[in-house]
Structure 1
Amino acid sequence: MTSPLRVILGAAAPLALSVGAGVAVRLAATSLLGNQATAELAAFALAGAVLGPVTAAVAGGLRGLTPFVAPDRDRPAAALPVLRDARWLALLLGASGAGVVLCVPLVASAGGVPGEVTAALGVLPPLLAAHVLLLAAGGGANGTLVALGHARQVLWPGLTGTAAEVLLLVALVPRLGVAGAGVALVAGTAVAVAIANGRLARVTGLSGRALWPGRPRPREILRMAGVGLPMSAALVVKFAALAAVAWAAARTGTHGAAAYAILVSLDGPLGLAAFTAGQAAAPEVARAASPAAARRVNRAALAVAVAGVLAGAAVLGLAGEDVLGLFGSDGRVRAAATGLLPLLTVFSLANACAIVMSASLTGLRRPAWSLGSAVAGYGPLALVAAPVAAAWGLSGLWCALTACAVLVLGLQTWGFVRYSARR
């Protein structure tokens, strides 16, 4: 029998290349904006802090289809109604999320963000809203490919969309600033969504069949929503708290907001292995026939996640100054970010393991536990972010973030051990 580690690595490797390309393009956008103007980098981070929970809500809702699709891996046609149900759910979430993103300038003005940062937003919010709608239109094509055992097919939409976005970033950001970054994101997303659905349409058993929503089936949609929406809500709680932290960082000044943006960008590569291992683990946990099998899959995914964080931390430890130099020449921003790299590593390690645990709970169809854990950990973080930033600055914020991640990991581990025993 194939070992769980080989199964996870086999699915996670193409996912890592695809998602890693997306992380690289976020770093490229941050670097280009950081070398252009500190205010524009801060505006990009501010809008991204709102975009994070919105896209997480859409993606989380779609992850609810994984435990329903995975058991039909050997007969993909049986999964087609589930995919159509998921697309109705995604369209509802996407329309709501786009409306939230459009409100970023109003919330920024009311929240005390410096005027130069708010003014630098420009047309970025409408462009990000278009990005959210395109993600929803994708309807979970990538997640379905992974659940059906075709993870390698995810490479093509990811790499092609990233290539289009990078070309446009290089061409547009020097002339248009954050608006150029928004245009590049929308174009890259459109390319990726189109190719992902094209690849899904070629899967044996789905070829020649309509993938788009037909007549809605309310009962089945609600059944999937029972798994997807708690997962979506958990991600919203998490990213909303992170948005509150970003808001608190922005209120410390332009330099603090820019340093926070750099650290958040670096967290992306550190957590890449965890995100892809979690995506690979969820369908395998859903297919597991016993508690022992589910736990073996979970341990293998955790091993991949931890290895990814430690490898990234080693690179930052050896070449931290050079890496930070890619994000601009502002000495105050670089100094603030450099001093917080150790805290970033600890946070990323705990957060990576929590991502895997959350995915495993989704595979068990127990995302409500992930939601409860997120509320218990990230709820208090959102409440204390502003006073902590006022008292202790960025270092205080990152200490609070790290403590929160450790608490959430502990709660999710308890939940997984409890529910996997009932498998």
Structure 2
Amino acid sequence: MIDLLRAAVPLFLAMIAGTVGSLVVTSVLGHHDTVTLAAFALVTAVLNPASAAVQGALRGLGPFVAPYRDDPGAAVPVVRDARWLSMVAGTFGALAVLSVPLLAGATGVPGEVVREMGALPWFLAVYLLVFASTGGTSTILVALGRPRNVLWPTLVYAVGLGGLSALLVPSLGLTGVGIAWAVSGVVAAAVAAGLLRRALGRPVGQARPRVREIATLARVSVPLAGTVLIKFGVLAVVTFAAGSTGARDTAAHAVLTTLTGLVMMVGLSVAQVSVPEVARATDPAGARRAGRTAALLAVMGTLVVAGLLLAFGQPLVGLFTADPAVLSRVLGLLPLMLLASVLDAAQAVRGFGLTALKRSSASLLFFAIGYGLLVVAAVPVARTWGITGLWTAMAVANGLLLVLQGAGFHRHSARVGAGDHVAG
């Protein structure tokens, strides 16, 4: 457990750094102009799921790279395959970002907001392609037992994004944010490439695409991307459903969602570093032991953060709202949100365990069931029970996912070492 915790800490710090960088951008734009902030929100509403889908796809590389920890250079062909796959995913994401002004105009967004976007979608599309070109470096470094190296590219990116945005936005507006995003992404990618070369002990180089091997990677990676898109899509529906409950409840829901992201960092960090441990298991007992340890650590870490939120909830929530009614609503729903987050952290570990077993398609099916029920229930629940009902529904959905993912992990881990441990 101690080794797993040591590996998770750098990822946790990297997530914090990335979050701080994004918060700085939002703060700078918020003080610059309301229309600018609105345009930024619309573009990032597409960028976030697009980049999350690319990142989700790249997380599927872990079980393919983990067996090469003792001989990193032998993983180079897999890394090359990953780059081809990630560039395809990145291209689709970039096209989605470029389509934002057209979609915004077609859905009735005010013309001044659409015009304010300017060149931002182009800069962010470049960033997404640069990010994809790294070919899942973070996942590869974790799989090779070098999780500490993951922190540095993210730290460079966060400092560059926040610093350049603060410097450029006053004179260039959203164009300044776009420049900051693209430049920071390029520098971070260069740092990541250097760390990857050092970890592999040789340059990655170029090679013709190996179609069969790329397809094998895709059978694990693409369902992961689909899982991310389902989650983002359903949570967007939940947010729109919350929007029908009144301005103060909508604001409270937004604050609770932000806090959820902070709470989930611990669980996601542990879940990611558990993938190589499960992937290298030679028998069902070893895989299940690694999965139990990761789940226990993720829940314990999430509970610690939850305890801190409960203890210091009022001053912390006060950073997000000055409205006493919103503050009271958030504090009242905090225990329910924390319950949903703990269940989410536990199911995430089981989901990553299925990825380690190369059975991410099973996780995709479970998400389609659990979040499919949530998306059907969101609007009627919001109309009947408000955001209290919505957060109860999310807790129930995460609990159902925990049961489904846990049962799936137990079933598929039984095949470890039996010659049936294949992608699918």
**TM-score, with structure 1 as normaliser:** 0.87
Q: What is the Cα deviation at residue 376 of structure 1?
A: 0.3
For residue 168 of structure 1, what is the aligned residue in structure 2? Answer: 164
Q: More relative contact order in 1 or in 2 (CA 8 Å, sep 6+)? A: 1
User: Which residue in the other structure is 1:230 paired with?
Assistant: 223
In the alignment, is the contact (CA less than 8 A) between 1:281 and 1:298 conserved in 2?
Answer: yes
1:40-74 per-position Cα deviation (integer Å, ceiling 9, x unaligned): 76766665443333222211221222111110111
Alignment equivalent of 1:363, drawn from 345, 356, 359: 356
Larger deviation, residues 403-412 vs 188-197:
188-197
- Size of the aligned set, in residue pairs, is 415
1:263 and 2:256 are equivalent in the alignment:
yes
Aligned to 2:281: 288
CA distance in 1, matches of 2:401, 2:378: 17
Q: Which residue identity is paired with 1:316? A: L
Q: Tell me, what secondary structure is at the counterpart of 1:65?
A: helix
Task: Give matches, 1:147-226, under 5 Å.
Answer: 147-172=143-168, 183-206=179-202, 209-211=203-205, 213-226=206-219
Alpha carbons 1:169, 1:180 under 8 Å: kept: yes
Map 1:73-152; keep pairs closer than 5 Å.
Answer: 73-104=69-100, 107=103, 122-123=117-118, 125-152=121-148
- TM-superposed deviation, 1:165: 2.0
Counterpart Cα distance in 2 of 1:43 and 1:335: 30
The corresponding residue for 1:413 is 406
In the other structure, the counterpart of 2:421 is: none
Unaligned runs of 5+ in 1: none
Q: Secondary structure at the match of 1:347?
A: helix
Note if contact 1:30-1:327 (Cα within 8 Å) is conserved in structure 2: no
Rounded Cα–Cα distance in structure 2 between residues aligned with 1:117 and 1:247: 23
CA distance in 1, matches of 2:243, 2:253: 8
Per-residue CA distance 1:10-67 (angstroms, 9 max, x = gap): 2112222222211333344455566777887676666544333322221122122211
Partner of 1:349: 342
Q: Which residue of 1 aligns with 2:397?
A: 404
AA aligned to 1:422 is: R
> For 1:193-247, what per-residue CA distance to the aligned partner results, in whole angstroms no more than 9, with x for missing partners?
22111111122532xx234x52111111001111111122112111121222233
Change over 3 Å in CA distance of 1:86–1:189 after alignment to 2: same
Question: Is this contact kept in 1: 2:22–2:162, CA < 8 A?
Answer: no
Distance 1:253 1:131 in 2: 36
Between stretches 352-361 and 7-16, larger displacement belongs to 7-16
| Structure-1 residue corresponding to 2:12 | 16
State how far apart, in whole Å, the 2-side matches of 1:175 and 1:121 are: 14
In 2, distance between residues paired with 1:29 and 1:202?
A: 32
Letter in 1 for 2:204: A
Structure 1 residues 309 and 169: alpha-carbon distance in aligned structure 2, compared to 1, 3 A threshold: farther
Per the normalisation by structure 2, the TM-score is: 0.87
SS at match of 1:64: helix
Which of 44, 50, 57 is the aligned partner of 2:46? 50
Q: Distance in 2 between matches of 1:83 and 1:202?
A: 14
Question: What SS does the corresponding residue of 1:57 show, helix, strand or coil?
Answer: helix
- The CA distance in 1 between the partners of 2:322 and 2:192, in whole Å, is 38
* Change in CA separation of 1:260 and 1:181 when aligned onto 2, cut-off 3 Å: farther
Give the 3 Å change call, closer, same or farther, for CA 315–156 of structure 1 in structure 2: same
Name stretches of at least 5 consecutive residues in structure 2 with no aligned partner.
417-424
Report the more deviating stretch, 147-156 or 334-343: 334-343
Residues 306 and 78 from structure 1, CA distance in 2 versus in 1: closer, same or farther, beyond 3 angstroms? same
Report the alpha carbon displacement of residue 313 of structure 1 after superposing the two structures with TM. 1.5
Which has the higher mean CA deviation after the structures are superposed, 115-124 or 149-158? 115-124
Greater alpha carbon shift after TM alignment, 114-123 vs 290-299: 114-123
**What is the Cα deviation at residue 130 of structure 1?**
3.4
Counterpart residue type for residue 408 of structure 1: L
Tell me if structure 2 keeps the 8 A contact 1:42–1:250. Answer: no
How far the C-alpha of 1:120 sits from its partner, in A, is: 9.8
Partner of 2:373: 380
Q: Aligned with 1:100: secondary structure?
A: helix
The farther-off stretch of 150-159 and 39-48 is 39-48
Identity %: 45
Q: Residue by residue, what CA displacement relative to the aligned partner does 1:326-355 show, whole Å, maximum 9, x if unpaired?
A: 224355554443343222211111111111
What residue is the counterpart of 2:269 in the other structure?
Answer: 276
For 1:338 and 1:184, how far apart are their aligned partners in 2? 36
SS at match of 2:117: coil
CA contact (8 A) 2:105 2:114 kept: no
2:241 pairs, out of 242, 248, 257, with 248
CA spacing shift, 1:110–1:254, aligned 2, 3 Å: farther
Q: 1:323 aligns with which of 316, 319, 335?
A: 316
Deviates more, 1:100-109 or 1:302-311: 100-109
Amino acid in the other structure paired with 2:162: V
Aligned-pair CA distance for 1:263: 2.4
Partner of 2:420: none
Range moving further from structure 2, 63-72 or 18-27: 18-27
